[in-house]
Structure 1
Amino acid sequence: MRANQRTLGIMTRCQGSHFIDKGYYKKLTLFGRKQGIRVFVFSPRQVNFSSRTVAGFEYRNGAWQSDTFPLPAFVYDRCFVGPAYRNYKPFVEKLQNDRNITFLGHGLSGKWQVHQMLIHSKQLSPLLPPTELFTHSALQETLDKYNAAILKPMAGTHGIGVVRVKRRKGDFEVSGRSKDNQPFRRILQGEAGLKRFVSTFTNGRKFLVQPYLELHTPDGSPFDVRVLVQKNGEGEWETTGRAVRIGDKRSITSNLHGGGKAVPLAPFLSRHYKPALQTRIMQTIDQVAVELPRFLEQSHGRLVELGIDVGIDTAGNVWIIEVNSRPGRTVFTMINDPAAQFHSITQPVRYAHYLMKERVGGY
């Protein structure tokens, strides 16, 4: 195997020398070095396809150093999807179509596309909240049936832009997080007032409509369960860890970026659910962790890791809320789970090493 075939490029958005998750990428680099794999960070916009080189950054001698690298043989895609992704997409697609480059996994397109795939699973579809593409009529139908609805952007993270609409006597209460991730609450007069607000808030962006589920503790704190599943060094799916994310009572989401905290799953369930219900909840979460990545991969193509966000309502019903192909792993530091924390960092390198040994091509 040639030297450049043992290279792993972490593809992310870089603004000059600035890129997020430097601590995580440093640990990936150091672990990769122990496996004989050279790891570096690069932006897809900095690729020179003529010379087959890329300007990027490598952690060495205690700091991130800029350099020019041959195109990596393997790519770990950490380019988060959002409004700015359109500036990166053509370069990402060109790399994906390069026969000499293997992506560890291909990122999921968006919430609606994931829902459309999962709804065909007999095991998973009952756990999906009813979901529609946003139109004013779809919102009204959901409110007529459930009295409360959730609006969420099709491409978004950290709970930004997620809004709850509750029908009240003659008016509507709207609460959630703005595009600046600031919590807000407003009372809107009648259906005309609601329509004006929603038109301005969505502003032509694509949103989904779902019934509002009571995914909160008895004291009103929103929560969900983050399950991290990853490919291991044998190319098999494995559950790395689980953690509960609890949001601020003033919020409708539990995202850590909105001021939430994380706690271990088992003690949390024991505090809020009866033993028989705890067992059923854990069994359902385990079923999701096993079934979902395999089923999704059959429809979507190769994946390397998934952050599965699971909701549990006040009656103990389990719901699949969201699936993220570029998950964070901060929760395992917050709950002081060193084993999960270590595996969450090392599994992508182990899987890359497996692909290097097997020389598996792309889908």
Structure 2
Amino acid sequence: MKYASKSIASKWRKTGWMLGDSSLRPFVPETRLFGRASLEAMLSRYAVVYFKPSRGTGGKKISRIERIKAGSYRLKGTGGNRSGLSADELYARLKSLAGGKQYLLQRGIDLAHTGGKPFDLRVMVQKDGSQWVTTALFAKIGKKGRVVTNYHSGGKVAGFKKTMKGAGYSESSAGEAQRKLGQIGEATGQCFDRHRDGFREIGLDVAVDKAGRYWVLEANTRPQYYPLKSVDRSAYRRITDYAKKYGRVKGRRK
């Protein structure tokens, strides 16, 4: 069976869809297209801003911008680390990194920690007929000093319940978080369906801040889940069972 799930590469388009949905808007951090005016506006509002390509996967080419003090900034990530940049120097550096391609500026979230390390969550939703269902939740724990938590950037995949326990969640509060995250994931699937037909799987990257709020950093329409196999085999099998129905997985997967 041929792979039969729609995929959208543009993060800007997907973010726009979510911002246009009243039920999802509260969970989307402020995001703007990169430009001189938008950079100045974002840095005037937030101490940390992320600079990332509108198209791209695996946490590649993402940089973290920190406001050290008024008029002085630190840039970390793609292209190395630079500190003490003026606003003009920062803009020139980012423009060079963008290379004429579309980039986004996104409000930085002060991530919750588990075992002393920052983490975010992957919420996997898939189609069962016409209904979206949550098939897996797992965590991505960041490596010290890295800009992103992605597996390909040195992070590691971990179980949801264990991660939330390490972040100070009780069993009941972790269960409530699981229900809420599933609702956000399924609402995202329904939102995307209103804009375009053919989606069968979505993987949300969701940050949990230190106040316990959820923030959807990105919606992936061709989400990776293979590292989950070594962490939660039953969840991995559940995902692949659904994926077989739309051709993502061929043959038998154990």
- Scaled by the length of structure 1, what TM-score is found? 0.63
| Alignment CA distance shift 1:136-1:277 (3 Å) | farther
CA shift for structure 1 position 220: 6.1
* Pair 1:241-2:136 in alignment: yes
* Pair 1:303-2:176 in alignment: no
Secondary structure of 1:215's partner? coil
In the alignment, the residues of structure 2 paired with residue 218 and residue 237 of structure 1 have an alpha-carbon distance, to the nearest angstrom, of: 29
Secondary structure of 2:182's partner? helix
Residue 174 of structure 1 aligns with which residue? 75
Segments of structure 1 that go 5 or more residues without pairing to the other structure are 1-7, 10-75, 77-103, 179-183, 353-363
* Pair 1:105-2:5 in alignment: yes
Secondary structure of 1:168's partner? strand
For residues 131-178 of structure 1, the C-alpha deviation after alignment (integer angstroms, 9 at most, x for no partner) is 111112111111111122111100011111111111113521111245
Q: Is the 8 A contact 2:126 2:200 kept in 1?
A: yes
Within 5 Å, give how 1:1-363 maps onto structure 2: 8-9=1-2, 76=3, 104-169=4-69, 170-178=71-79, 184-217=80-113, 221-232=117-128, 234-275=129-170, 278-335=174-231, 337-351=232-246
Q: Which has the higher Rg, Structure 1 or Structure 2?
A: 1
| Alignment CA distance shift 1:292-1:271 (3 Å) | same
In the alignment, the residues of structure 2 paired with residue 163 and residue 216 of structure 1 have an alpha-carbon distance, to the nearest angstrom, of: 20
CA shift for structure 1 position 351: 4.3
* Higher RCO (C-alpha under 8 Å, 6+ residues apart): 2
CA shift for structure 1 position 221: 3.0
Q: Which amino acid aligns with 1:242?
A: L
CA shift for structure 1 position 312: 0.5
Q: Which amino acid aligns with 1:343?
A: R
Secondary structure of 1:296's partner? helix
Segments of structure 2 that go 5 or more residues without pairing to the other structure are 248-254
Q: Which amino acid aligns with 1:340?
A: A
Q: Which amino acid aligns with 1:175?
A: K
Q: Is the 8 A contact 2:140 2:155 kept in 1?
A: yes
Q: Which amino acid aligns with 2:150?
A: N
In the alignment, the residues of structure 2 paired with residue 277 and residue 315 of structure 1 have an alpha-carbon distance, to the nearest angstrom, of: 14
Q: Is the 8 A contact 1:284 1:318 kept in 2?
A: no
Q: Is the 8 A contact 2:141 2:156 kept in 1?
A: yes
CA shift for structure 1 position 105: 2.3
CA shift for structure 1 position 124: 0.8
Q: Which amino acid aligns with 2:160?
A: L
Residue 52 of structure 1 aligns with which residue? none
Q: Which amino acid aligns with 2:75?
A: V
Once the two structures are aligned, what percentage of the paired residues are identical? 26
| Alignment CA distance shift 1:258-1:117 (3 Å) | same
Matched residue count: 245
CA shift for structure 1 position 273: 2.9
Q: Is the 8 A contact 1:229 1:307 kept in 2?
A: yes
In the alignment, the residues of structure 2 paired with residue 122 and residue 167 of structure 1 have an alpha-carbon distance, to the nearest angstrom, of: 31
Secondary structure of 1:319's partner? strand
Secondary structure of 1:346's partner? helix
Q: Is the 8 A contact 1:222 1:251 kept in 2?
A: no
Residue 5 of structure 1 aligns with which residue? none
Q: Is the 8 A contact 2:115 2:166 kept in 1?
A: no
In the alignment, the residues of structure 1 paired with residue 243 and residue 130 of structure 2 have an alpha-carbon distance, to the nearest angstrom, of: 10
In the alignment, the residues of structure 2 paired with residue 243 and residue 266 of structure 1 have an alpha-carbon distance, to the nearest angstrom, of: 8
Secondary structure of 2:187's partner? helix
CA shift for structure 1 position 109: 3.8
**Cα RMSD (Å):** 2.0
Q: Is the 8 A contact 1:263 1:334 kept in 2?
A: no
